[in-house]
Structure 1
């Protein structure tokens, strides 16, 4: 009977693809996701106006969805044998989505800003998809499809909600 005194090494296939560029792209997407999460929560907390309840609930749902992807993104980076973000400082260094620190912003502008940020995230996800496909990282490629669908869905909701009747 063989003795099991150590954990088997992960399959070499986890690390035999060139993932450096893809990992950098994923870490930027992770930073953008945290920035978008915080901005969405900020707007959720500060939205006002005749559609308060509708916007408040929608933004809370969207923030929850965004936060849910952050763990998946970080764990995917780790599964490929790389390091991911470690601090608020790392988020600030990598993020491309701009913070919103305005004391007063009207609800339509909030929705427009979040729409544009989600569209920018979709574009970043498409670029990361190209990189992981070139690297032959099928698992990350499939996850990027899911994250892209979620970001497109949020952008669609924001756009549809912003349209006048």
Structure 2
């Protein structure tokens, strides 16, 4: 280990070599970073509702939200690593997430189970729009690796939205 203080050491910039070009790096990394902020916001809201759920369908909803939270969280590392692989950087803090997230938090002391599911269904539908917009950016620069991943995440978000919607339907 070196004895040189961190403030005086020469630090190499985080530049991952890529053939996509500077404009692609800037635009794709920015789109992925905003998407990552939304994924973390949705993950935390899903876990919040999972932890604070109550009512007659508690077990089924509790397990479904746990599964959905795991699926959302599983995307986060891949999104951040794609931003780095294309030569960009990504999120650095909770504050960074809060500045970029487009999905609203829910800090209410009590939310009914039906309202939780409806809000998560709406958030997943909004996320689908963000995923599609990110896909357009990546497609513009022929970033087929990222577009391929985004297509899987769109399908997963559509499935989450569908399940949540079906759980909120009345029997009338």
1:84 alignment partner in structure 2: 90
Q: Is the counterpart of residue 32 in structure 1 residue 41 in structure 2?
A: no
The aligned length equals 156
Q: Is the counterpart of residue 62 in structure 1 residue 74 in structure 2?
A: no
Pick from 130, 137, 141: which aligns with 1:124?
A: 130
Whether the 8 Å CA contact 2:32–2:134 is kept in 1: the answer is: yes
Distance 1:55 1:75 in 2: 31
1:4 alignment partner in structure 2: none
Q: Is the counterpart of residue 157 in structure 1 residue 163 in structure 2?
A: yes
1:109 alignment partner in structure 2: 115
Provide structure 1 residue ranges, at least 5 long, that are not aligned to the other structure. Answer: 1-9
Deviation track 1:59-83 (CA, whole Å, cap 9, x = no partner) reads 0000000000001100110101110
Cα drift, residue 21 of structure 1: 1.9
Provide structure 2 residue ranges, at least 5 long, that are not aligned to the other structure. Answer: 1-15
Q: TM-score, normalised by structure 2?
A: 0.86
Whether the 8 Å CA contact 2:35–2:131 is kept in 1: the answer is: yes
Distance 2:22 2:106 in 1: 40
- Divergent runs of 4+, >3 A: 14-17
Cα drift, residue 15 of structure 1: 4.9
Q: CA RMSD in A?
A: 1.5
